[in-house]
Structure 1
Amino acid sequence: MSTMENEARTMDPIEIEDRHALEEVEDSKRLQPWTKLMTVRGLIASVLIGSTFSIIAMKLNLTTGITPNLNVSAALLAFIFIRTWSKIIEKIGLVSKPFTKQENTMIQTCVVACYSIAVGGGFGSYLLGMNKKTFELSGGNSIVGNTASSVKEPGVGWMTGFLFLVCFIGLFVLIPLRKILIIDYKLTFPSGMATAVLINGFHGRGDKMAKKQVKGFIKSFSLSFLWGFFQWFYTAKEECGFSQFPTFGLQAWKQTFYFDFSMTYVGTGMICPHVVNLSLLLGAVLSYGMMWPLIGKLKGDWFPENMPESSMKSLNGYKVFISIALLLGDGLYNFVKILRATIINICEKYKTKDLNSGGGVNHDKKALSDMRKDELFMRETIPLWVGALGYTTLAIVSTIAIPFIFPPLKWYFVLVAYVLAPSLALCNAYGAGLTDINMSYNYGKVGLFTIAALSGKEHGVIAALAACGLFKSIINVSCILMQDLKTGHLTLTSPRAMLLSQAIGTALGCIVTPLSFFLFYKAFDIGNPNGEFKAPYAIIYRNLAIIGVQGFSALPQHCLQLCYGFFAFAIAVNLGKDMFPKRIGKWMPLPTAMAVPFLIGGYFAIDMCVGSLVVFLWGKVNSKKAELMVPAVASGLICGEGIWSLPASVLALAKITPPICMKFLPA
């Protein structure tokens, strides 16, 4: 190892680049056939890590609705798992198969496909928005269109069936266009590229880095798990325990400003960019620090005094609809921006007709490496008929089956969705390839509003929510597949193997995710606006459907004017971000991030800002070590407390309550 490092120091950058290029060329010659890339140990690792991440993502969905990108964590845990497995096998005296970056890529792909079902499957949004509790929180029968017939309680059977119908079809949408998106247009897919760089680094820099990351992960995982276990003893009732510690005083605690000692959100804050965490804090200060106390004093003027707190005609209505205005403003701006960038980029490609410009003598070997990657990507071709037959068959099955699950969503609505989905999926994947922004949730809202307007007031809400899930799932899965294919392209992994891995992960997610959802749904009070599991997006999506059915009459007094203001604010902030110099624009807040604490409070924003502070200080002390260790430590913090939620749920189901209630009261 030291000889290689000394040799690298004496080489100039061009020689190093050439050497890496030649190594990749040699790797491409030694590759195994795609049928041998999926191993038993890889499958076991995928199931274990994918199931763990599904539980973690589900908890995040049902508490705050914010889930970080866990691709890097998935690649890291896959590396740790297989390296540990290999060491154990070798100690037993058996021969272990070499662990390649291709196997690492396949495990990461399978894990991401699995946990993305928990993120985008609607368990914290449109599916949960159908249940009776969300129906009552959104106003019950007193709201036009929000009828008792627009309720569908969660069930493992119908949820699993629905996910299989709407998620698997997404695997076949863009298969015929993979060459155009990844090779011809050379789209970067930044998240996929970053994951590939990480995996190539794992398998190129030896064991020293890996050992440090493994130790960091184990330490932070153990700390987080034991801390979750310790906290549990003090939570006998609601508003008890360290999670309700009045860090800044009882008055601030009443306005949700306190540090709740959640290692999950500290770890999430370490992964998320600083601007996301600061935007969350700004949203919390603006809403719970200023607006809600002021609007609360107008009780009896702007809204009736005797109105229940959960009613959409009370203060809760302002929280929900202003959050929606911020989300819609941000989403609309980014949708138009990405669509414009997509059209301009495509036009430029056709004008120049030179997709491989920019070569030179010094880049010959790099060009050779790129050619080898492209050659492998095209050699392991996926026949066009596979995509066409798979999409057509599943579309026919879904058109017949989905109306049995959701009778208000008529078969012709489903058919129209499957006709429109491929073009929308292409637009979304192209935009994500340019900007790394997956806009599937916005395309889902397009489907929601369209079907809500067409379905009528009696059954429009359920039909709209189901249509939202149909559009979003197809477009989301197809985009994630393209992102993972980019990772596979850069790590010399066969596209056929990637598609197989994605299919296995999707199937696993469709089975594991409903089970992990019901683990929380049966054990905790999901959807309670005053509890831990607020599931904020469930009520947002239901109210979006109600607005689509009946229009703006659903809004409380003066709320429409405030919504106009925040909608305009979201667009103005995005304009400022794009028009100001980068050194100023990078500090402009993100309206989507600001919207979440408007509804659920500021406590988790403080946790995530603590994570940002840790990363900032660590970077100041030792930037190289921080860059290496932050993903490992953050993953350990998230996974430790996430795993503890599993035994905590089992204890709650068994009616075993903690022995102590630690609560703080005024003197």
Structure 2
Amino acid sequence: MAPREQKDPQEKPEEQQHTEAQWFREVYQPGAVQLTVRSIVTGMFLGGIMCLSNLYVFLKTGWSLGVTVTACVLAFAMYRVLAALRITKREFSALENNAMGSVASAAGFMTGGGNMAAIPALLLLTGIRPDSIPLMVWFAVIAAMGVFVAIPLKRQLVNIDKLPFPTGTATAETLKSLHHHGQSSNKARYLIRAGAIGAVIAFLRDAKMRWLPFNLPAHFGLPFKLGGVAAEKWTLAFDGSLILFGAGALMSFKTGWSMLLGAIMNYAVLGPAMYARGAIESVVYKNIVQFTLWPAAALLVSSNLLSFAFQWQSVARSFSSVFALFRKRKNEEDDPLADVECPTWWFPAGFLVLAPIVVFLMMSLFQVPLWAAIVALPLTFVVGIVSSRVTGETDITPSKAMGPMTQLIFGAILPGNVVANVMTANVTAGVGLHSADLLTDLKSGYLLGANPRKQLFAQLFGVVAGAVVVVPAYNLLVPSAEVLGSTQFPAPTVLVWAGVSRALSLGIGGLHPAARTAIGIAFVLGIAITLLERWAPARLKPYIPSPSGIGMAMVVPGSNSIAMFIGASIAEFMRRRHPRVAEQTVVPISSGFIAGESLMGIAIAILIATGVLSK
């Protein structure tokens, strides 16, 4: 979705107030029921469930998926059922559902923004696993800091510049269709049924129980050899996971076919060639990815940083907007939204409370020097500003660029300290993600006439729920570093973060010469593809692969990329040939597959941990 025409950040305050006063008169709904006990409880429950699902999916694919629309559809359907059963009498309103969505999104995105990249990367690099309670506080404080960073940005980016924030706009439209037209029953039904199918498939595949007559195979190997080794050994197979199919259906077709291309390049060309040269010792996934990780990281870092550099105008507008906000308003006593918007002073107050906690945790949990922890704090605000505007304009939060950028900075100022390198990037990327997430929610609230203060409080409830859920789930799914980078949990983003940190802190001189050559080629390839994406003729752009798709395909099993390509292809076919059917089915069915299988996977892990099931 193309960004809307931007308004001048230097617009006179009187003109800004007129625009906001018009919204206050015509859109805002004073006295409407919004942040209620049931919206908080429902949001924490659904957000917690989706946090579990996102954690499982992240370890499988490297992606964190949006949760807000799914949570809103489920909450609407749930309260419709409760009303039909006369368990609840008062209608679950659109603004109440919107507040619930703010709680759910803050909880569901606890896996994003570097959280579930940094902590596992730290485990891989150092074997450090912080205790559960301090780690919960760590996640919650970083996310809460992102929430407070959004406060001074909201009026400029949402009210005045009117950035599109496409996901926020889509959420508002979904809530309007649900609550004003009742168009939820089919989507909710598809989602629940797909979830049940995903759960059954996962159970039949992964639950090893005596009374089960069979288990579904995890893979179906392709019937050919590469370099004298079966294709299945090179991870080229059809995967039996509906999570991968669903994730592919939710991504763009360009990313899907780029992942297939990356898998072919990696496992059918590069891998066999490096095996023949002795750079890969044996055809086992972990050995393959220990080599291919390096060119993958180089390609991802070069392409993402260059893409981010091309957004320099967004960066400039970000700081211009903030400077405009901190200039004193004229006639502040006449501010039409003084009792509705979050006061600007909440940001420095929240920052002053949370920043010392972050510094203390960086020092006590991760032994980051005091001066380095303090240096990271202003970076968090900078990253929050930039991430928020880029998300508003493009709907893409640039965590994949901002994390490595922080790693580069601390690799230069604190060489050799891999812990500081990883955890400072966790802070900056986490703050950026949660700032952008709240502003996305505030966009939907702005379109619906919601109270932004109540949405901020809703996000803080979600932050607590997500932090409490994600840590024990992570400890359960990742009992040791050996799980990471396996076919069960490829954890591609974790491998990239760990690889970048190791390269910056320890150097790449000890790598196989072929790996160093591959890094150089991949770095240039990432730049070349990004330049082509920007400057190639419009008719050729659909045929230029996604560098992120290729890079991620190089650190997940080939079977993952094949499954995601199939999902993306079917979704694209439906969107082109049957757009109305696709609008009703693609997102809910895909989300249902992902939620059902991931939650069953976590349930099976719990049963194994308690001894009910065998491994």
TM norm structure 1: 0.80
Match of 2:199 in 1: 225
Match of 1:539 among 472, 475, 495: 495
2:18 is the counterpart of 1:43: no
Match of 1:411 among 370, 382, 385: 370
Pick closer, same or farther for the CA change 1:264–1:538 going to 2, 3 Å: same
Q: Look up the equivalent residue of 1:626 and give its one-letter code.
A: A
Quick check: which has more Rg, 1 or 2? 1
Match of 2:169 in 1: 193
Please tell me whether the aligned partners of residues 547 and 554 of structure 1 are also in contact (alpha carbons under 8 angstroms).
Answer: no
- Shift of the alpha carbon at 1:121? 4.8
- Shift of the alpha carbon at 1:530? 3.9
2:359 is the counterpart of 1:399: yes
Q: Look up the equivalent residue of 1:448 and give its one-letter code.
A: Q
Match of 1:127 in 2: 119
Match of 1:184 in 2: 160
What's the CA shift string for 1:323-375, capped at 9, x where partnerless? 1111111111111011234437988999xxxxxxxxxxxxxxxxxxxxxxxx9
Please tell me whether the aligned partners of residues 377 and 494 of structure 1 are also in contact (alpha carbons under 8 angstroms).
Answer: no
Pick closer, same or farther for the CA change 1:126–1:580 going to 2, 3 Å: same
- Shift of the alpha carbon at 1:116? 0.8
Identity of aligned residues (%): 21
For 2:486 and 2:386, locate their aligned partners in 1 and report how far apart those are by CA, in whole Å. 39
What's the CA shift string for 1:420-442, capped at 9, x where partnerless? 32233212211221122211342
What's the CA shift string for 1:496-516, capped at 9, x where partnerless? 111011111111111111021
Match of 2:240 in 1: 261
What aligned pairs does 1:493-512 form with structure 2 within 5 A after superposition?
Answer: 493-512=450-469
Please tell me whether the aligned partners of residues 28 and 376 of structure 1 are also in contact (alpha carbons under 8 angstroms).
Answer: no
For 1:283 and 1:317, locate their aligned partners in 2 and report how far apart those are by CA, in whole Å. 16
Match of 1:462 in 2: 419
Q: Look up the equivalent residue of 1:126 and give its one-letter code.
A: A
For 2:588 and 2:366, locate their aligned partners in 1 and report how far apart those are by CA, in whole Å. 43
What's the CA shift string for 1:36-86, capped at 9, x where partnerless? 422232223212211111111111122221233333323322322232232
Pick closer, same or farther for the CA change 1:637–1:26 going to 2, 3 Å: farther
Match of 1:173 among 149, 153, 157: 149
Match of 2:296 in 1: 323
For 2:338 and 2:263, locate their aligned partners in 1 and report how far apart those are by CA, in whole Å. 49
Q: Look up the equivalent residue of 1:440 and give its one-letter code.
A: S
Please tell me whether the aligned partners of residues 151 and 462 of structure 1 are also in contact (alpha carbons under 8 angstroms).
Answer: no
Match of 2:11 in 1: none
What's the CA shift string for 1:613-658, capped at 9, x where partnerless? 3323434553212212222212221111122113211221123446
- Shift of the alpha carbon at 1:321? 0.6
Match of 1:478 among 392, 413, 435: 435
Please tell me whether the aligned partners of residues 298 and 522 of structure 2 are also in contact (alpha carbons under 8 angstroms).
Answer: yes
Please tell me whether the aligned partners of residues 156 and 515 of structure 1 are also in contact (alpha carbons under 8 angstroms).
Answer: yes
Pick closer, same or farther for the CA change 1:82–1:276 going to 2, 3 Å: farther
Match of 2:405 in 1: 446
Match of 1:53 among 50, 65, 68: 50
Gaps spanning 5+ residues in structure 2: where?
Answer: 1-22, 324-334
What's the CA shift string for 1:85-136, capped at 9, x where partnerless? 3223x2x5xx52122211111111111110111223523x2211222xx24x
Match of 2:5 in 1: none
For 1:642 and 1:377, locate their aligned partners in 2 and report how far apart those are by CA, in whole Å. 43
Match of 1:384 in 2: 344
- Point out the more displaced range, 375-384 or 585-594: 375-384
For 2:322 and 2:410, locate their aligned partners in 1 and report how far apart those are by CA, in whole Å. 36
For 1:309 and 1:229, locate their aligned partners in 2 and report how far apart those are by CA, in whole Å. 26
2:200 is the counterpart of 1:244: no
CA RMSD of aligned residues (A): 3.0
Helix, strand or coil: the match of 1:245?
Answer: strand
Helix, strand or coil: the match of 1:553?
Answer: coil
Helix, strand or coil: the match of 1:552?
Answer: coil
Match of 1:32 in 2: 31
For 1:495 and 1:324, locate their aligned partners in 2 and report how far apart those are by CA, in whole Å. 39
For 1:437 and 1:548, locate their aligned partners in 2 and report how far apart those are by CA, in whole Å. 26
Match of 1:423 among 355, 368, 382: 382
Matched residues, number: 575
Pick closer, same or farther for the CA change 1:481–1:429 going to 2, 3 Å: same
Gaps spanning 5+ residues in structure 1: where?
Answer: 1-23, 136-149, 351-374, 660-667
Please tell me whether the aligned partners of residues 377 and 495 of structure 1 are also in contact (alpha carbons under 8 angstroms).
Answer: no
- Shift of the alpha carbon at 1:272? 1.3
- Shift of the alpha carbon at 1:192? 1.6
Pick closer, same or farther for the CA change 1:420–1:284 going to 2, 3 Å: same
Helix, strand or coil: the match of 1:502?
Answer: helix
Match of 1:87 in 2: 84
For 2:135 and 2:114, locate their aligned partners in 1 and report how far apart those are by CA, in whole Å. 9
Q: Look up the equivalent residue of 1:37 and give its one-letter code.
A: Q
Pick closer, same or farther for the CA change 1:25–1:431 going to 2, 3 Å: closer
2:279 is the counterpart of 1:282: no
Match of 1:103 in 2: 96
Q: Look up the equivalent residue of 2:406 and give its one-letter code.
A: G
Q: Look up the equivalent residue of 1:85 and give its one-letter code.
A: L
Please tell me whether the aligned partners of residues 77 and 188 of structure 2 are also in contact (alpha carbons under 8 angstroms).
Answer: yes
For 1:435 and 1:298, locate their aligned partners in 2 and report how far apart those are by CA, in whole Å. 43
